[in-house]
Amino acid sequence: MITATCSKHKGLRVSFGGGSVKFVDGAAVVSEVQARHLLSLPDSFGVAVEGSIPEPEEPTVDPPTDNEHVAEGSELFEPKGNASLDEWRAYAIQKGIDEAELEDLKREEVKALLED
């Protein structure tokens, strides 16, 4: 259980995007979200929070596995075998092959060039 106390304003009501907290006789039982909001108030409110407030979990994001979701300027992944000629050319250019050298090549020829 997380409790909050307000020493300066016994009937304080604090509203925020996710709801509100109303102190009765300077005390309130609050959720984790409410407690985090109350902790962000300026000291002039006289609000204190007591109890264990767990750290929010960091969201996990899987890294991209294809070039469609790679930020511009980032290193490209090797395209899948059936990827378009344009993807294979972009990958070859990033690997240091001159763009002019790739101009007339077909997809399989670009892939073979990269295997060397």
What sign does the dihedral 113-110-87-60 (CA atoms) show?
Answer: negative
Domain count, the chain: 2
> Is 107 in the same domain as 78?
yes
Contacts of 89 (CB under 8 A, 6+ apart): 99, 102, 110
Q: Is residue 62 part of a domain?
A: no
- Residue-wise pLDDT for 43-91, tens only, equals 888 888 888 777 777 777 666 566 665 666 666 678 888 888 988 888 8
Give the predicted TM-score (pTM) of the model. 0.43
Q: Residue 97 sits in which domain range?
A: 67-115
Tokens of 20: 């509100």
